[in-house]
Amino acid sequence: MARDPLMALADRHLIRYVPGFAPFLVERASGSWIWDRDGNRVLDFTSGQICSTIGHNHPRIVEAIRAACDRVLHLNSWMLSEEVVRLAARLAELLPAPLEKAIILNTGSESNEIAMRIAKLATGRFEIVGLDQSFHGLTAGVASVTYSVAHHGYGPQLPGTFAIPAPYAYRCQVRRRADGASACPGCDLACLERGFELFDANGAGSLAGTIAEPVLSAGGVIDPPPGYLRRLAELTRARGGLLIVDEAQTGFGRLGTMFGFEQDGVVPDIVTVSKTLGGGLPLAATVISPELEERILDRGFVHVTSHVSDPLPAAVGLAVLDVITEERLPERAATMGARLRAGLLELAHRYPIIGEVRGRGLLLGVELVTDRQSRQPAEELGSRATDECLARGLSMNIVRHVGANSVWRIAPPLTVTEDEIDLALSIIDDSLAAVLGAGLRPMEALRGAGASQAPAPRN
């Protein structure tokens, strides 16, 4: 099949910001599906960039965009619209007290930058602690506490940033098995305690805050044990710092509750939200307490950008929150996530390449290994299996970086159906069988009774 000439144009004119683009151009998207320019359909189990929480091109989002086009799209940063005010109020309703003051922003990177600036201004301190498999963005400040992407070649990082070991039990940096392999049968928070001991030994005694995700998604879906965030808050506050929880990929239902931090019974000092709020449009927010807002205002806080408090994305955010609450999508994520997890665990019984299945709700990770004893990452097999899934009509993300190689990150829209989950599991099954040379089932077995629901095989 001839290559799409637009791909050659992309090669010529686009900066390659990832190792490689998908080998096709997307024509349209709807729900859990995307279609390329040749009409092939692909089941999207990454929710775009984990942003299409309620599926691609949801009718309520399209309606909100059209209504905004009839009213107002953009304003001077000093001007407010009804949509922005109502979105801030809705966030306050969903979050626990005293988190009720929001700034409406564009991206997760920006919301985390603001969170770090607030922590420093409010405390009068400058040190920030992050987890060593974290991802909080790639703008200058938060890139310094993003440790799942290499820092090499970009010069000095932000002064005062520190990494502590992530609670990566499958490859524990603190506890080791008798044979020397890195593993921890059940995280006892030794990594967290040891991390703060190292911070105390190396820091300047000026902790402004710590930043963490409820589940470290881009780091390989690292799922901290119960109580982790609560203990992190205690250790942080004992040193005079503030707890920042980054809910970019975990917020608004993905883990089975509205917010991930709820599952640990802790209320952060600062919460950042982004991806899952915008339904595919750039939208983010940083949320704090009135007391914290008063403190930073007294000290001169200001943040003005071209698109702070823009009406259009705020209108979309309201539509997303309406769908999430009306359709009880957090509860649905818990139920559908259990179905997906059960299917992945069944595959793990049959394929030794699957070393571990972990995660919560509809954010699951599958760690691929050459063998379960050594736990050596199956880099080549993982890449081949991921490509095979795509060729058969299933798009999944594989984490490829030091410390978390070959981890499938699976995050379908919260509106995913049982049939779509079962189809994805069938495609994973056949893809693993293909790359491991175990033979294939007929394509008809993939389709079952509803042949029209299966994606067309790629040429």
CB 272 within 8 A of CB 246: yes
CB 378 within 8 A of CB 389: no
Q: What is the pLDDT of residue 148?
A: 87
Q: What is the pLDDT of residue 400?
A: 63
Task: List the structure tokens of 454.
Answer: 């299966």
The stretch 98-117 carries a mean pLDDT of 98
The stretch 109-135 carries a mean pLDDT of 97
Least confident of 49-58, 150-159, 300-309, 406-415: 150-159
- List the chain domain ranges: 29-54+328-453, 60-326
Kindly list the distances between the CA atom of residue 368 and the CA atoms of 62, 357, 432, 435, in Å, as whole numbers in the listed order: 38, 9, 11, 13
- Local confidence band at 379 (pLDDT 50, 70, 90 cut-offs): confident
Q: What is the pLDDT of residue 440?
A: 42
**Does the structure show a pLDDT above 60 at 290?**
yes
CATH topology of domain 60-326: Aspartate Aminotransferase; domain 2 (3.40.640)
Q: What is the pLDDT of residue 457?
A: 31
- Local confidence band at 4 (pLDDT 50, 70, 90 cut-offs): confident
Q: What is the pLDDT of residue 401?
A: 56
**Does the structure show a pLDDT above 80 at 195?**
yes
CA 411 to CA 430: how far, in whole Å? Answer: 20
The stretch 202-216 carries a mean pLDDT of 97
pLDDT tens for 21-44 read: 888 999 999 999 999 999 999 999
Average pLDDT, the chain: 91
DSSP letters along 375-406, please?
A: --B-HHHHHHHHHHHHHTTEE-EEE-STTS-S
Q: What is the pLDDT of residue 2?
A: 65
**Does the structure show a pLDDT above 90 at 398?**
no
Between 250 and 186, the more confident residue is 250
Kindly list the distances between the CA atom of residue 351 and the CA atoms of 393, 430, 432, in Å, as whole numbers in the listed order: 21, 11, 8
The stretch 108-125 carries a mean pLDDT of 98
Q: What is the pLDDT of residue 150?
A: 84
Q: What is the pLDDT of residue 85?
A: 98
The stretch 72-94 carries a mean pLDDT of 97
pLDDT tens for 312-369 read: 999 999 999 999 999 999 999 999 999 999 999 999 999 999 999 999 999 999 999 9
Q: Which helix (H) or strand (E) holds 272?
A: strand 270-273
Q: What is the pLDDT of residue 177?
A: 53
The stretch 75-89 carries a mean pLDDT of 96
CA 141 to CA 157: how far, in whole Å? Answer: 8
- Local confidence band at 445 (pLDDT 50, 70, 90 cut-offs): very low
**Does the structure show a pLDDT above 60 at 394?**
yes
Can you tell me which residue has the tokens 């823009």? 310
The stretch 192-220 carries a mean pLDDT of 96
**Does the structure show a pLDDT above 50 at 444?**
no
CATH topology of domain 29-54+328-453: Aspartate Aminotransferase, domain 1 (3.90.1150)
pLDDT tens for 236-263 read: 999 999 999 999 999 999 999 999 999 9
The stretch 72-98 carries a mean pLDDT of 97
CA 236 to CA 123: how far, in whole Å? Answer: 12
**Does the structure show a pLDDT above 60 at 458?**
no
CB 302 within 8 A of CB 226: no
CB 346 within 8 A of CB 211: no
Can you tell me which residue has the tokens 């699976």? 410
**Does the structure show a pLDDT above 80 at 206?**
yes
CB 48 within 8 A of CB 249: no
The stretch 207-235 carries a mean pLDDT of 97
